[in-house]
Amino acid sequence: MLLNERKFKILQAIVSDYIETAEPIGSRTIAKKYELGISSATIRNEMSDLEDMGLISQLHTSSGRVPSEKGYRFYVDSMMQSRALTSDEAMFLQQMLIENIYQAEYMMRETAKALARLTKYPAIVSEPFLKKTTIKHIQLVPLDEKSLLLVLVTDTKTVKNQVVNLNTAPNYETLTKLSAQLNTHLAGLSIREINRQLIDKMLMQFGEHAHVLMPVLGIIADMIQSEDDVRVFTSGVKNILAFPEFSDKTKAEAIFNALEDRASLFEILGQPLASPQGIQIIIGAENHLDLLKACSLIKANYTIDNQSTGCIALIGPMRMDYAQAVSVVSGILQSIQNVIKALGGTQ
């Protein structure tokens, strides 16, 4: 979308002013405050065009204009200017990471606190998501007529075992054959690589013993999930109350509940290993979670070494100060890389 210079400056003024004040802005205010060299009547005409283009909206017929989701997206993509961290901010981040680099859990907690402190938005930071655990060997061992022992060995040399209760447990010879089939199909796979097509194929091969497969797969999934679990830290959750957009108790509680629920946090962060690189800015309806439709989400991956990747994120209203938030996130990412380099690369 192309805007002439006047429309560009007027939209920039509307977005900047609304981010700062949370109040609709009118043509007279723009004319006085931003000294664009054009009359308020001309500004009104340009604002009308911007509204027709879907970049701004009017809450009431007598009110000023506010940016639309489309307007925020245009601002982020075409208007937003990068802002460097102040020397105090950069020193604060660098010192925080240096002090805690050998204490991974504490470092992630402090990173979340730093993000929330510097931006005034709720922050989420995950531990590194390690390379997904894969299956090395599976053995089914008979216990009695209605139970067997599942022994799982992973690529990390972890050995886990759990009792599987069944209506009827196969004998030793049958379980040896079923173990061989499991290893043929599953050895070298992570739990995410076990798809429906593979399960259907295995069910056919198990034949009359198909009733053994699903409970075994469920337990294997739980065992591997416990290996892959990472912790997620939040900070500044109550910061959301500072914004008038969340003065509604129901909206605020929805955000609070999501930031206290592990499953919701992972939905918000996504899977870092599969996420695009760089900083992502997700605005309003672009969010796939309903509770974030009135919010903006800024997130990015960080890398501790060549195999572990974590995620950091900020949640705020759609009128969040994108330039400042992005500069802090960029600063966090750069500080992490600088500390790792100073320590000689990887840990």
Q: Are residues 223 and 151 in the same domain?
A: yes
Q: Are residues 256 and 325 in the same domain?
A: yes
* Structure confidence at residue 309 (pLDDT): 73
Question: Model-level pTM greater than 0.85?
Answer: no
Q: Are residues 207 and 255 in the same domain?
A: no
> Which of 86-124 are b and which e, b meaning 16 or more Cβ less than 10 Å from the residue's Cβ?
eeebeebbbebbeebbeebeebbbbbbbbbbbbbbbbbb
Q: Which residues contact 271 (CB under 8 A, 6 or more apart)?
A: 129
Q: Are residues 296 and 245 in the same domain?
A: yes
* Structure confidence at residue 165 (pLDDT): 93
Instruction: Classify residue 130 by its DSSP letter.
Output: P
Q: Which amino acid does the sequence have at 104?
A: A
**C-alpha to C-alpha distance for 84 and 89, rounded to whole angstroms:** 10
Q: Are residues 44 and 147 in the same domain?
A: no
Q: What is the pLDDT of residues 64-97, one digit of tens each?
A: 999 999 999 999 999 998 888 888 888 888 787 7
Q: Are residues 125 and 237 in the same domain?
A: yes
Q: Are residues 287 and 243 in the same domain?
A: yes
As for how many domains the chain has, the answer is 3
* Structure confidence at residue 228 (pLDDT): 61
Domain boundary, last residue among 168, 193, 228? 228
Domain boundary, last residue among 194, 228, 262? 228
Check pLDDT > 60 for residue 122. Answer: yes
Q: Are residues 122 and 194 in the same domain?
A: no
> Which of 184-215 are b and which e, b meaning 16 or more Cβ less than 10 Å from the residue's Cβ?
ebbeeebbeebeeeeeeebeeebeebeebbee
- Interhelix angle 87-100/322-342, rounded to 10 degrees, is 40
Q: Are residues 167 and 155 in the same domain?
A: yes
Give the angle 231-232-237 at the CA atoms, nearest 5°. Answer: 150
* Structure confidence at residue 346 (pLDDT): 44
The CATH number for 51's domain is 1.10.10.10
Q: Are residues 268 and 336 in the same domain?
A: yes
* Structure confidence at residue 326 (pLDDT): 95
Q: Are residues 301 and 271 in the same domain?
A: yes
Domain span at residue 63 reads 5-79
Q: How confident is the model at residue 347 (pLDDT cuts 50, 70, 90)?
A: very low
Q: Are residues 330 and 244 in the same domain?
A: yes
Q: What is the pLDDT of residues 20-48, one digit of tens each?
A: 999 999 999 999 999 899 999 999 999 99
Q: Which residues contact 133 (CB under 8 A, 6 or more apart)?
A: 154, 155, 156, 158, 190, 191, 224, 227, 228
Q: Are 225 and 231 in contact (CB under 8 A)?
A: no
Regarding predicted confidence, which is higher, 131 or 172? 172
The CATH number for 286's domain is 3.30.450.40
Q: Which residues contact 264 (CB under 8 A, 6 or more apart)?
A: 257, 258, 289, 291
The CATH number for 202's domain is 3.30.390.60
Domain boundary, last residue among 228, 251, 269? 228
